[in-house]
Amino acid sequence: MSYSFSAAQMNRLSELAVTPLEPAIFETAEARQKMFSQLEKEGVKKNRRALTRLIETTHKPALCTLSENLARALCAQGFTQVTTPTIISSKALKKMTITPQSPLYKQVFHLDGKTCLRPMLAPGLYEVSQRLLNSQKQPLGIFEIGSCFRKESEGNTHLKEFTMLNVVEWGTPLETRLERLKTLGALVLDAAEIPGYCFKEDHSVVYGDGLDLVSPDGLELASTSMGPHPLDDAWKITCTWVGIGFGLERLLMFREKTSGIHRHSKSTTFLDGACLKLK
């Protein structure tokens, strides 16, 4: 009879970010337990060191540092940071054409029939922009960094709560939109210290055809969109524009070359990429 690690043992090693050497096949249950205990001990040590470095030296999780660095880089290029509510009205969803018939609707955390947790930053950004554009000249660049919520099936690349950075520029000249999107994508990814990404054409249910930024192995890092767009009518916006939305935890996952997104998320199991369950 031969033994491989149980699902519970694999889960524990995975949360400690320990990858057992292949093939992990053992002749006895005792041999398996011995190897598991050894790997777990090494993993605990590694994670404890990472937490100690955070507590004694860096003091700030990478998610917070990344968010600050991106905000600084964008402000230096003349973009203005805005903050809009996490709870939005169901009417705002409808304005985004997210209705009970659309696939994204089922992913929304509805609260009381009239409100929901925002699945994206766009509704708030549209609202603020409509008002700002009444008094400010173009081009006008704004951005927001904040939590978005989607009911996602479990996986290594999706979180129910994730941190979105959405950058919008109103009044980008029509013929320069694509180039501008590439420049903005590069600005953000340079500030995130992420090289080696590529652009790929994609289709979004909300925005239609657009351009994605992806990792070489196909992980979506950001989606872009351009206007004039049919959605603009609901906010009476008529100018040309470009927009780009990044998932910050995806950026960390790609940059740190980790296999799961959860260790980079807002969590009580993980802190700054390290596992907190060390007993």
Candidate residues 133, 245, 255, 264; the one interacting with ligand ATP per rule CB under 6 A: 245
Q: How far is CA 15 from the centre of its chain?
A: 20
Binding site for Mg ion (CB under 5 A): 223
**148-185: string of b/e by CB count within 10 Å (b at 16+)?**
bbbeeeeeeebbebbbbbbbbbbebeeeebeebbbebb
What's the rounded Cα separation, in Å, for the pair 95 and 82?
A: 20
150 in contact with ligand ATP (CB under 6 A): yes
Bridge partners for 198 per DSSP = 214
What's the rounded Cα separation, in Å, for the pair 237 and 181?
A: 19
162 in contact with ligand ATP (CB under 6 A): yes
240 in contact with ligand ATP (CB under 6 A): no
Candidate residues 26, 235, 246, 254; the one interacting with ligand ATP per rule CB under 6 A: 246
CB of 37 to ligand ATP, least distance (A): 34
Candidate residues 158, 182, 229, 266; the one interacting with ligand ATP per rule CB under 6 A: 158
174 to 233, contacts with ligand ATP by CB under 6 A?
Answer: 204, 220-223
Paired tokens of 165? 């950075």
Q: Which is nearer to ligand ATP, 175 or 217 (CB)?
A: 217
CB of 109 to ligand ATP, least distance (A): 12
CB atoms within 10 A of CB 115: 17
Contact residues for ligand ATP, defined by CB under 6 A: 120, 150, 152, 158-159, 162, 164, 204, 220-223, 245-247, 249-250
